[in-house]
Amino acid sequence: MKNELVAEKIFNNIYAAVNGTEISTTERQKLNLRNSSLTYGEINFEAMQAIVSALGETAGKNFYDLGAGTGKAVILAALLANFKKTVGIELLPALYQAAEVARKKLVLQMAQEPRDQTAVNKTTAEVLFIRDNIFWADFSEADVVLVSTTCFDERMMEMLKRRLTMLRPGSLVITVSQSLHSGYYDIIGRFKINLKWGEATVFIHKKIY
């Protein structure tokens, strides 16, 4: 884990004027999308700290957030851990665009950090956002996947489980709210986090074959 105070300062600067809920609501109204799986909710600094702490060694690994919203988890994964690459896949164009703005701000923030602080928090990860559907996109290079399953119905959980068979054995899948019931995955950890809308359970799954 890197210097958390520096990471939090950078994170707060990047997202000071970003309201993901508002962006998502406006976009869904504009595109006339009523699907409850598009309901917005986001990770916060403390929750992501707890998730990163539970991951073990992250150096050289690829992190993917499936349904990345404004990109908070992807930016925090880059700031708090040592991933080689952190990637967010998001369906809604306006949220994807907000994530891209955040990515550019991260690059600027990194360039502005005093040399000593940059040394501990240098984000060497390649940070990338992709506008795509998580049920079509190829994320087979991921070693760690985060997906908020809070608003997924049974059909979507089944589709997700099928998509997650593309990962290599040993890969970790972190779900928020609902766990995977899959023969390919063992649950190796679980804990509670506090999100804006209430308490949620985080499940850590490991792909066994």
Alpha-carbon distance of 21 to 195, in angstroms, equals 13
Establish if 98 lies at the interface with ligand SAM (CB under 6 A).
Answer: no
Residue with Cβ nearer ligand SAM (118 or 195)? 195
**Contact residue for ligand SAM among 6, 15, 23, 41 (CB under 6 A):** 41
**Contact residue for ligand SAM among 18, 23, 75, 91 (CB under 6 A):** 91
How far is CA 209 from each of CA 105, 145, 184, rounded to the nearest angstrom? 39, 16, 6
Establish if 103 lies at the interface with ligand SAM (CB under 6 A).
Answer: no
* 125-164 footprint of ligand SAM as x/- string (CB under 6 A): --------xxx------------x-x--------------
Cα angle 79, 64, 35 (rounded to 5 degrees) comes to 120
**Residue of this chain nearest to ligand SAM (CB atom):** 67
Q: Would strands 185-195 and 198-207 be described as parallel, antiparallel, or unpaired?
A: antiparallel
**Contact residue for ligand SAM among 68, 78, 79, 102 (CB under 6 A):** 68
Three-class SS of residue 86?
strand
In DSSP terms, 64 is beta-bridged to 87, 145
Alpha-carbon distance of 121 to 174, in angstroms, equals 24
The contact set with ligand SAM (CB under 6 A) reads 24, 37-38, 40-43, 65, 67-69, 72-73, 89-92, 95, 133-135, 148, 150
